[in-house]
Structure 1
Amino acid sequence: MGAKERKRVPRAVREQEMLDAAVESFARHGYRAASMDDIAEAAGVSKPLVYQYLHSKEELFTACVRRESATLISAIREATGLEAGQVMPADRQLWNGLCAFFAHTAAHPHGWAVLHQQARTQGEPFATQVAVLRAEMVEVVTRLIGSAAQDAGCDGALAAREVSGLAHALVGSAESMAEWANSRQSDPPSPKETAATLMSLCWPGLENLLNGVRWKPTR
């Protein structure tokens, strides 16, 4: 009876269950040590069925990276309102994006571990897929800062030269803070607390830049 019930599960649902089990296993044990037998058992299916759906361990890992990347960037884009053409102050957009990022990485720690720890250390093609995700996050932040710079009347030099660098720095800081927040198992900060910490670090400087005030070393 149990086997018949399993056969009635739609393929798309069953595949997501396999990916859920695989993401947790890869996050806990690493790509090399993760066992296809354990993944199949955790998903409640046979190992041949995993191979039937996803063909190989490499393709299974690739599917995990793609899914976790897609859900993360979707959460950020939705929160910032860029795709919907929503108009809001630049600091509000950035705050919303950071809150969404930290909320997602906190709610999906295994997925974040697969992206941030596992995929980028396993070489091709996984590292390239993570680089694409990072480029998308940088693109979102670049649009936010660039739009704010334009609204503030900054000259073209700022938009062309500094905005991209600032976006890369901000994304790198967010990635590092997500790793830090998820590692604090005994006293984890909330996503909003983590976002507020990063906003306190970056926004005063960004606001100064947008107003034409740049830091200079004292003599």
Structure 2
Amino acid sequence: MTKYQRVVLKLSGEALAGEAGYGIDANVLQSVASQIKEVIELGTEVAVVVGGGNIWRGMAGSSQGMDRATADYMGMLATVMNSLALQDSLESNDVETRVQTSIEMRQVAEPYIRRKAIRHLEKKRVVLFSAGTGNPYFSTDTTAALRAAEIEADVILMAKNKVDGVYDADPSVDANAKKYDELSYFDVLKDGLGVMDSTASSLCMDNDIPLLVFSLMEQGNIKRAVLGEDLGTIVRGNRS
């Protein structure tokens, strides 16, 4: 029996780049697709939000003098590219998938329609939410929080490619960094832990959406997360 019946899986664009750090690694795509298939076979409904940092980061473009809105729209298009790549990989694993975009591009994907997305999920299709919220100045973390609230997801699964949870310091720099098993969103915001941006954290806190942060790099972790096994760090509205 799974712990969660409907989940939003949040993947960073960098995770899809693998060791190269840029672009899309076909082996990583296949690994993610096979793990999502395992979860679908358990009967869990899966929506996915993918970042675009492996192709373009809006903040980076803005810091180089580009108009912030233009840079962010370019980042949204990068998330569409990642979603289409993941869709192709999922369907090669016989997993029915739909890409929905917040910016209308009908030749490429469906426009985001909440009720239609929920219907796809009920039919056990994976829904990939791309192009962010459709607005500049909002991250894909905020997209994940917003879509999770809209589709009434049980949890956001934040799969990381470099860490296996939330730490009080960067574990790649500080050998004494302490990993948290459980946190509240208030702690995240107060201590500036950088799990999600403050807009996304506040949205999750206000709507009581739990967040599980765990490592994507270990095969089978997405399934373990859905089954409720002990891994990563759970972030809740209030620490229990």
TM over 0.5: no
> TM-score, length-normalised on structure 1?
0.26
Which structure: greater strand fraction? Answer: 2
State the TM-score, normalizing by the size of structure 2.
0.25
Q: Which has the higher contact order (CA 8 A, sep 6+)?
A: 2
Task: Indicate the structure (1 or 2) with the bigger Cα radius of gyration.
Answer: 1
